[in-house]
Amino acid sequence: MYKSAGNIVSRTGVLYPWPKQLLSACKDAKSISQIHALMIFTGVFSNGDSNGQLIASYARIGDVTSARRVFEESPQRGVVTWNAMIIAYSRNDSPNEVQNLYRRMILEGVRPDSSTFTVTLKACSSLLDLKAGEKIRSQAIDFGYKDDIFVGSSILNLYAKCGKMDEALGIFNGMTKRDLVSWTTMITGFAQSGQPVEAVEVFRRMQIEEIKGDAVLMVGLIQACTNLGDMKLGISVHGYMIRQHLPMDVVVETSLVDMYAKKGLLNLASRVFEKMSYRNVVSWSALMSGFAQNGFAGNALELLIEMQSYGFKPDLVSLVSALLACSQIGFLKLGKSIHGYIVRRVEFDRVSGTAVIDMYSKCGSLSSARILFDRISYRDSISWNAMIASYGIHGHGKEALSLFLQMKLMSQRPDHATFASLLSALSHSGLVEEGRYWFGIMHSDFGIQPSEKHFACMVDLLARAGLVEEAHKLIGSMEDEPGIAVWVALLAGCRNHGKLELGEKVAKKVFELKPNDPGIYALVSNVFALARKWDEVALVRKVMKETGMKKVPGYSVVEVRGKLHAFLMEDKSHPQHHMIAAMLDRLEYEMRAMGYVPRTEYVLHDLDEQVKERMLCNHSERLAIAFGLLNTGPGTRLLITKNLRVCRDCHEATKFISKIVDREIVVRDIKRFHHFKDGVCSCGDYW
């Protein structure tokens, strides 16, 4: 048998095409088997290189078992044959088999080459087997592959996947030659290990060396910009890609959508999304998540419907985003439907379970949240924290504390978020002594150093209880400079308890910090207005106007028969406006007969008293309540969701209304839930 002009001449003198040409044309097991038989018949099977081609052909169609049989039956196994089998296992996602075959290869005295080391190191990366990878690296050096660029990139990938970026950087800096894969591995590795600054530094080194990146590298760099929150740099990277005419595939464009969406630049995220020639479910989920996390619940839910109309089935990320949107607007009916969809179609794990618990809680069904929590077989700290926080926003501080103690008994260690949820729950229930105790032993008993968030919760607890001087003293004990959240908590307490002298000082401090939240400016303005410091009120409004910041308009949403109805203050656009106004007039008449007196001091404008009373009567939550009463049967529980705090006058009025109509009315504002029944609120008037 010998090769002649691209053919094989058999022992009998018959001319056959060379097997490589035939194998490359084979598309199924039957045709490969025929070539296999021909190779045995012609005697080519004894040639190790040809056997490697046969192994690769079986592997290409997914028949790794036949590939392994060929390997074991091969009379000669050179490095080509070994590599073919190793690569077959690698492509079949069998990293353990790759490692086992490599060890056997070494024991049999076959000398590995660059491909052997590259593929085997990749298997170690997949298994996060650093120990085995370092041994193979040492063997690669012994066999003379220290400066091989492919082996070097594989070693970098191993260290990056195992989170050993310092070691990876040392190897990278020592490489005599680097290719694009090496640079990409470093940038992606730093980005994925939570070191975005280092990722950007590597990219800048790459620019200095005038190396042009590709789409894969850009995905890592975009992730680094996302983690940094540096949108100036992120936009610059986007511009660089456009200028360099780099290809924009679905992965790159989805990364850009995610980057812009997470920073709240939803217009830019939407523009990138709309221009995508192809979208996958990850693309839809990224934009949905951005809308939901930035408070645009309606847009997120519209996207959920739209993506399904294009034939995409929601994944876990999009469903969790939809649950968050339902939580924000109190859309219980849709939230239940999504819960059912997850149970039927998607894996119900800790992430989805926690999201469903949060949805039920924020849609006013705390009992459903607890039932679901009790059914979760394995609860991590996130699940516990979600349930503790749920009790907190409903004003059940004692239940939150009880659950916290149960968490300890189950040997689930509390973390920073657990204590923040607990202290917030105690704050909403006025459990001052309990708050002092647990705040006091956070560090000594649990090794958790109180952060600014914990101080803000504690200041809020004290200030809500009227202990504003103690809260002020606590702020003075902070080692780090107090942030705006701490001062705002104290300012709210000063306003609620009429401590205007200290409130003015705190308001000036908050104003100096230049918050970017119009709600905080409104609070500062309210404190100045209560103190009749109209010049300061005018100054606050001037700053808001100059910076283009507008006060967020208050609106309230009520769900009636599975549909949401939204109302603004003094809203006259609703088709049932006249009926709503008549209902409010009747309710006010009965309320006054029972002793209700409008608290016009909460209208912070210099207006006639009758005008102030009319403004109070037309607050958005009252319009929503009246609509709900008109369109539901007697005894039906109403859930009102408001985007701002409920004012004290509306809080008082709703207590009267609940008694008049003999219904439970639940109002969820931006801070907490208020359950009104028989003229009493669950918060105990603890503001």
- CATH number, domain containing residue 522: 1.25.40
Examine the fold and report which residue of 521, 551, 581 is the final residue of a domain before the chain moves on.
Answer: 551
Closest by CA to 198, choosing from 186, 215, 209, 207, is 186
Structure tokens at 449: 């150093």
Decide if 608 is inside a domain.
Answer: yes
pLDDT single digits (tens) 167-215: 999 999 999 888 899 999 999 999 998 899 999 999 999 989 888 888 8
- Which range (218-227, 603-612, 674-683) has the least confidence? 603-612
Examine the fold and report which residue of 551, 586, 621 is the final residue of a domain before the chain moves on.
Answer: 551
Decide if 194 is inside a domain.
Answer: no
Residue pair 44/1 in contact (Cβ under 8 Å)? The answer is yes
pLDDT single digits (tens) 277-294: 999 999 999 999 999 999
Question: What three-state secondary structure class fits 556?
Answer: strand
Decide if 229 is inside a domain.
Answer: no
Q: Looking at residue 664, what is its pLDDT?
A: 95
pLDDT at 545 over 60: yes
pLDDT at 604 over 60: no
One domain, residues 421 and 463: no
Which percentage of the chain shows pLDDT scores above 70? 89
One domain, residues 443 and 456: no
SS (H, E, C) 289-311: HHHHHCCCHHHHHHHHHHHHHCC
Q: Which whole number is the average pLDDT over 600-625?
A: 65
One domain, residues 470 and 445: no
pLDDT at 221 over 70: yes
Query: φ, ψ for residue 658 (rounded to 5)?
Result: -60, -35
pLDDT at 615 over 70: no
One domain, residues 423 and 436: yes
One domain, residues 438 and 457: no
Q: How confident is the model at residue 76 (pLDDT cuts 50, 70, 90)?
A: confident
Mean pLDDT of the chain: 87
Contacts of 502 (CB under 8 A, 6+ apart): 468, 469, 472, 494
One domain, residues 509 and 615: no
Distance CA 332, CA 640 (A): 12
Decide if 407 is inside a domain.
Answer: yes
Between 620-631 and 577-593, two packed helices, what is the crossing angle to 10 degrees?
100
Examine the fold and report which residue of 399, 426, 449 is the final residue of a domain before the chain moves on.
Answer: 449
Distance CA 9, CA 99 (A): 38
SS (H, E, C) 242-272: HHCCCCCCHHHHHHHHHHHHHCCCHHHHHHH
pLDDT at 419 over 90: yes
Q: Which whole number is the average pLDDT over 559-564?
A: 89
Distance CA 407, CA 351 (A): 18
Decide if 503 is inside a domain.
Answer: yes
Q: Looking at residue 10, what is its pLDDT?
A: 46
Q: Looking at residue 47, what is its pLDDT?
A: 55
Residue pair 552/519 in contact (Cβ under 8 Å)? The answer is yes
Domain range enclosing 440: 379-449
> What torsion do the CA atoms of 581, 586, 590, 593 make, to the nearest 10 degrees?
90
One domain, residues 458 and 543: yes
One domain, residues 543 and 597: no
Q: How confident is the model at residue 3 (pLDDT cuts 50, 70, 90)?
A: very low
Q: Looking at residue 25, what is its pLDDT?
A: 53
Q: Which whole number is the average pLDDT over 605-609?
A: 47
Domain count, the chain: 3
pLDDT at 14 over 80: no
One domain, residues 439 and 478: no
Which percentage of the chain shows pLDDT scores above 90? 59
Q: Cα dist. 351→321, 356, 381, 412 in Å? A: 11, 9, 11, 17
Q: How confident is the model at residue 534 (pLDDT cuts 50, 70, 90)?
A: confident
Q: How confident is the model at residue 32 (pLDDT cuts 50, 70, 90)?
A: low
One domain, residues 457 and 436: no
Q: Which amino acid is at 469?
A: E
